[in-house]
Structure 1
Amino acid sequence: MRRPACRGRLESALWWAATGRRHLTLNALERSFLDAGTDLTRRRGRVRRLVTAGLALLLAIALSAVAVAVRQGVTLAANLDQATARSVSARAEALRSTDPRAAMLLSAAAWRISPVDEARTALYGSLAQSRLDVFPSEYGWLAGDGRTLYAADEDGVRVWDVATHERIRAFSDSASGDSDTASVSRDGLTLLLAGDDTVRLVDARSGKPLGERYENLMHAEFGDGTRVFWARTDRERTQLWRVGDGKPLLDRGSFDSVAVSPGDRYAALFHQEGAAEIWDLSSARRLPVPTLPKGAAIHAIKFSPDGRTLAIARHHDVLLWDVASGKPADEPLEAPGALWRNAFGDDLLAYTPDGRHLAVVDPGHITLWRVADRARIAEYPLDSGAAALVRFDADGRTLRYSTFEPPFSIVSLDVSAYLRPPTLGVSQQADATLSPDGRVLALVGRPATTVELWDVARGRLLGELKAAEEPADYAHVIFSPDSRTLAVSPRPGPARTTLWDVATLSRLPDLDDPGKVAQLARAFSPDGRTLVVSSVGEDGIEVSRSWDLRTRKTAGGLRLPHGGALALLPYGRVLSTDGKMTDQPSGEPSPWESPGTISFSAAAVSPDGRFVAVGVEEGRVAVSDARTGKRLSLVQHGKDAINAVAFSSDGTLLASGIPGEIRLWDPVTSRPIGPPLAGPTDLLASLAFDADGTLRAAGWHRDLISYPTAPERAVAAVCVRAGRALTEAEWREHIPDLPYRKVCH
């Protein structure tokens, strides 16, 4: 064996003793030397092991300290993110009125920074807010297209696109003269400039003068005219002029309100105290006017887009006048308890481009009416309490108004939720029921002949089911908890309740019902194996029976104190329409804090079966523990009866609906999450969340509204509403403590 190099004497000796010696007997000195060397080697090994262990311990301590520091850093960063998200959320709420677009983007940024409750509330607030934009403007004329602003003064004319905040063009002072007001024709081609008792007409695109000036006219406007405008002379007379004519079409006395119809056929002249004239300009013929008492206080007049109807705003109502027949077109638009109007001006009324809706400036708010049935469908508060004018954008989705006092601004409101056409099919009344998974909508017309099933996400008709053997007044339908089975009950009875497979649109075997007592399907059990169906006897008392859907035979009657079964809960309990809870089959009252009479079918059980939510007629929503019956929360949604309630698929959100409005709640804390969302304008018939967290709301006129409640989808929807991303400059202004992050992907 080769002897290792570079070893000391002791190591060499030990090596020799172990491998290289030839004599087996050692003397005492050799033995002592070798034993001492062995002991020294052992001691050195122990020292090395102790040093290694110590170093390992120190390393572990150092690594632990680093881990603690990292964890503390992460915690501090998370705490900073949470605090920043709350601050940004508060900033977003503060900007809702003055800079709504920035408010929307900041709410999305807050959620991106940290998903705290305040950020979620701000995010939903951005989905709900009607205010889209505020354009700081100068005094001017908002054209009939609802988005082009013309401002004129001694320096010239400036034309602005209100939607984009961009100046489109400008004319020099030589074109405008000493003008202080501007008005543009309905087709946007001719600009009227008035000032210094003179009216000038110029090309609205180039600013070039058109024809001669009109002298001794103190004020002039096109209104809705294309070639006809009206003017007030220096002698307080009212004249109507056609562009290019050398003399007025009409020269009448003093009137406060003047309107020219689209197409220039009709003109209406009204005095605030009630004197009125309506003219057919094509024949220079006076037409009948409504009989108005002296002192009627005419605040504004406006022709409908087709020129057939004249809207006349009075103190507390709006009269709709059929111009051709000289008779009221319908009953006046009058809201119960409406305040008397205190502002005057023809721009306080505006029709939508299709003429189906009318916006009216009222004290403190703008009221949106549906003309066909005179329904008041929405109100929009005015921060300053008044508006100088109101216009609809040509897109039919945006309503704009100008503030009354300086600093002037043009406020854009999103009214699309109330103005869009029917979502599913032709507009007609239909009872609507959404499946629990939010994927299918059942629509039943009146009279009930068929049940239409619609794919909600695609807006596609899946098919039609036969509602009844013979035509019925209406049909009541309910889905099973797994959304696979539909029960259809024609009304009034007696009539057989039928069951259908939703996927195949095929009829399932009927219930074994020789006595024809299965008249009105009330509720499925949570597992879908039992269906409660009721009938009404000759004494008018409703009797509920349960049916085993596996055998199709009745399992017996339910013992309910009053009313019919509304929901079957876990633990063998039944909630009835009178707000009582009973154990079955004993019929004994269950522990339950009743909130009162439940309205319609406004009851829902959370997906895990822990909670039950009900809406009562007084506009309240109650959430209770399904096992103990203890009430967890009671909130006030509004004054109207609750139409529907629904839990999200994860049980963290509760939605409640009344006509025109939906609210989101935390079901445990009863805290509202965000402001109200716009709902169907008629009776809100059904609510449901789909698996992706999209809230569906169905109304009686085939109206379907969807809102994303899953935060990432909500962020994407908010970014679309804002129409742009949050810039780095805006980030530095509002979120200086964090580096810039991309909010809208």
Structure 2
Amino acid sequence: MNRLIDSGGELNRLLGSGGELNRLERDFLAASVAAHEHGRRTAVRAARRMRALTGSLAVLLCVAVVAGLVAWRQSGVNARQRDEAEARRIAALTDILRESEPRTAMRLAPAAWRIADLPETRAALRTAAAQSEQDVFSRPEQGGRALNAPSWLSDDGRVLTWVAHDRAAQWDVRTHRRIRSVHIPGLSENVIDVSGDGRLIAMTAPGGKDTIVRGLADGSTRRLRTGERADAGGRFGPGGHAFLASRLAHDSGSDRMVLEVWDVDRQRVRYRYEHGEDDGPLPMLAPDQRHLALCGGDDTQLRVLDFATGRLVTTHPPRETERLLCQAEEIVFTPDGRAVAGATPAGIVTWDFRTGRERPRLPLAGGANAVVFHGAYALAWTPSSFSLWRTDLPAPADDGAREPLLTYPAASRTVGDFRFDPAAGVLRYRESGRTDVVHTLSLHGLACPAWRAKARRTRRSTSAGAP
């Protein structure tokens, strides 16, 4: 039997014939076949279950991978939407801060663009690149609030001097840091003026007589014997080396205005002049301290005094030019010291008293309120804007009106001082009011040496091509 079982061929033959086996062998053979079939079916079922499990696991794996990819992409979309929302918020914030904190606004614009490149962020970046306002300095309160306290900007606009609570405090406009604070008894009530370089401060002496000039850095004191200060005024000349004192002298039956030009270093009078009324512009000293310009007579006659000779310079300007200059708020000298200019309803009028000719006018719609000169540049303030001019550029070929290099809208009509700083390429102006605010505007490279060199080459080529 073992032989039959061990031989697969014989077993098949016996299964087919069935007549050679006894009953016991047939039962054993049937049980063996049944066991074999049961094992085979079990193996088939196990293989089927394994295939089903493998397929299910593959499907689950695919579903998990797809779900992970969808979640990852959705996470990226959410992060991008979050970044875009944040970038839009920052871009909108730059518009809000552009006037109050322009420096912060200029830094936020590229940051918003780096977070997300959107139309809003690109617009904010372009606006920041073309933005003129670079900085705003609000004077900090010192020793309590002092509204409408007097303040002065230095000639270059870098130092703000503020007087309150008998203290003279000076601030660096560029860094927003305090330079010094000097206590001077009676200063708040008696302050007169601060020199253009910020070194000196003038005040009425105790008792209302004479003028005290105090050095803010070194504490030096000079006394100018200007007499009674009632109905008097005064201001420093360029550089603080001269002081112009004016007072009203009362005579029997008439009053007259007395003007004195004091040498601050020597504490003596250089020039004294008396005239009838005080309705014309304030007298002005030339930058070289040699000439003094004023309107005499009935305040319509332009006069220029030469200190070297002690005589009046013969000017004889046209009547209209003389009238416009004497009606200006202030007469200023040009940097070369050869001409006087004024901001008038007709624009900037300049009279060269050396050549006896009027220089080309700088027209401004609506007239000008004030003008300052620095080298070849003229900066004018109108009721609505600032205008920067180059006075040494060739005249237009068609003999048309000169055009300014730059015009910037003035956000405030209460401009106290405005200064031109060509070294930094900026314009600074003090917005006066209850508290002082100094704005810094960029000139966009118009005052840089490369631009000036190009202008000189253009002027030489134009002159060479002229017939």
Aligning the two structures, in what range does the TM-score lie when normalised by the shorter sequence? 0.7 to 0.9
Q: Does 1:316 align with 2:335?
A: no
| 2:357 paired residue among 328, 350, 372 | 328
| 1:192 paired residue among 168, 191, 202 | 202
Query: For residue 104 of structure 2, what is the aligned residue in structure 1?
Result: 102
2:311 is aligned with what amino acid? R
In the superposition, relative to structure 1, how do residues 147 and 416 fare at CA in structure 2: closer, same or farther (>3 Å)? same
Contact 1:146 1:394 in 2 (8 A): no
Contact 2:224 2:267 in 1 (8 A): no
1:54 CA displacement: 1.7
| 1:398 paired residue among 402, 426, 438 | 426
Q: Does 1:251 align with 2:252?
A: no
In the superposition, relative to structure 1, how do residues 180 and 447 fare at CA in structure 2: closer, same or farther (>3 Å)? closer
Query: Equivalents in 2 of 1:396, 1:144: separation in Å?
Result: 13
Kindly name which structure, 1 or 2, has the bigger radius of gyration based on alpha carbons: 2
Q: Secondary structure at the match of 2:128?
A: helix
Aligned Cα root-mean-square deviation (Å)? 3.2
In the superposition, relative to structure 1, how do residues 263 and 447 fare at CA in structure 2: closer, same or farther (>3 Å)? closer
Q: Secondary structure at the match of 1:418?
A: coil
In the alignment of these two chains, the number of paired residues is 406
Contact 2:155 2:419 in 1 (8 A): yes
Q: Secondary structure at the match of 1:410?
A: strand
Query: For residue 339 of structure 1, what is the aligned residue in structure 2?
Result: 366
Query: Equivalents in 2 of 1:340, 1:430: separation in Å?
Result: 28
Query: For residue 74 of structure 1, what is the aligned residue in structure 2?
Result: 76
Query: Equivalents in 2 of 1:257, 1:331: separation in Å?
Result: 24
Deviations 1:399-447 (A, max 9, x none): 111224334211111114322345576723399xxxxxxxxxxxx9897
Q: Does 1:140 align with 2:142?
A: no
Deviations 1:624-680 (A, max 9, x none): xxxxxxxxxxxxxxxxxxxxxxxxxxxxxxxxxxxxxxxxxxxxxxxxxxxxxxxxx
In the superposition, relative to structure 1, how do residues 115 and 181 fare at CA in structure 2: closer, same or farther (>3 Å)? farther
Query: Equivalents in 2 of 1:276, 1:203: separation in Å?
Result: 34
Query: Equivalents in 1 of 2:205, 2:126: separation in Å?
Result: 48
Query: Equivalents in 1 of 2:262, 2:389: separation in Å?
Result: 33
Query: For residue 181 of structure 2, what is the aligned residue in structure 1?
Result: 170
Q: Secondary structure at the match of 1:429?
A: helix
Query: Equivalents in 2 of 1:120, 1:305: separation in Å?
Result: 43
Contact 2:211 2:224 in 1 (8 A): no
Query: Equivalents in 2 of 1:39, 1:193: separation in Å?
Result: 119
1:24 is aligned with what amino acid? S
Query: For residue 373 of structure 2, what is the aligned residue in structure 1?
Result: 351
Deviations 1:220-250 (A, max 9, x none): 2224244112123254533221113244622
1:175 CA displacement: 8.6
Q: Secondary structure at the match of 1:96?
A: helix
Query: For residue 380 of structure 1, what is the aligned residue in structure 2?
Result: 408
Matches within 5 A, 1:210-221: 210-211=222-223, 214-217=226-229, 218-221=232-235
In the superposition, relative to structure 1, how do residues 66 and 259 fare at CA in structure 2: closer, same or farther (>3 Å)? same
Query: Equivalents in 2 of 1:396, 1:322: separation in Å?
Result: 30
In the superposition, relative to structure 1, how do residues 175 and 161 fare at CA in structure 2: closer, same or farther (>3 Å)? farther
| 2:333 paired residue among 292, 303, 320 | 303
1:385 CA displacement: 3.4
Deviations 1:482-504 (A, max 9, x none): xxxxxxxxxxxxxxxxxxxxxxx
Contact 1:274 1:298 in 2 (8 A): no
Query: For residue 216 of structure 2, what is the aligned residue in structure 1?
Result: 204
In the superposition, relative to structure 1, how do residues 212 and 310 fare at CA in structure 2: closer, same or farther (>3 Å)? closer
Q: Secondary structure at the match of 2:48?
A: helix
Deviations 1:553-603 (A, max 9, x none): xxxxxxxxxxxxxxxxxxxxxxxxxxxxxxxxxxxxxxxxxxxxxxxxxxx
Q: TM-score, normalised by structure 1?
A: 0.50
Contact 1:181 1:195 in 2 (8 A): no
Query: Equivalents in 1 of 2:65, 2:439: separation in Å?
Result: 59
1:128 CA displacement: 0.8
Query: For residue 65 of structure 2, what is the aligned residue in structure 1?
Result: 63
In the superposition, relative to structure 1, how do residues 329 and 195 fare at CA in structure 2: closer, same or farther (>3 Å)? farther
1:222 is aligned with what amino acid? F
Q: TM-score, normalised by structure 2?
A: 0.77
Q: Secondary structure at the match of 2:289?
A: coil
1:109 is aligned with what amino acid? A
1:330 is aligned with what amino acid? R
Contact 1:182 1:191 in 2 (8 A): yes
In the superposition, relative to structure 1, how do residues 42 and 139 fare at CA in structure 2: closer, same or farther (>3 Å)? farther
Query: For residue 240 of structure 1, what is the aligned residue in structure 2?
Result: 261
Query: For residue 260 of structure 1, what is the aligned residue in structure 2?
Result: 285
1:376 is aligned with what amino acid? P
Query: For residue 236 of structure 2, what is the aligned residue in structure 1?
Result: 222
Contact 1:133 1:412 in 2 (8 A): yes
Deviations 1:5-33 (A, max 9, x none): xxxxxxxxxxxxxxxx9923563322321
| 1:360 paired residue among 375, 380, 385 | 380
1:319 is aligned with what amino acid? V
Query: For residue 673 of structure 1, what is the aligned residue in structure 2?
Result: none
In the superposition, relative to structure 1, how do residues 194 and 358 fare at CA in structure 2: closer, same or farther (>3 Å)? farther
Query: Equivalents in 2 of 1:215, 1:277: separation in Å?
Result: 26
Q: Secondary structure at the match of 2:245?
A: strand
Contact 1:92 1:104 in 2 (8 A): yes
Query: Equivalents in 1 of 2:97, 2:439: separation in Å?
Result: 14
Give 1 or 2: higher helix fraction.
2
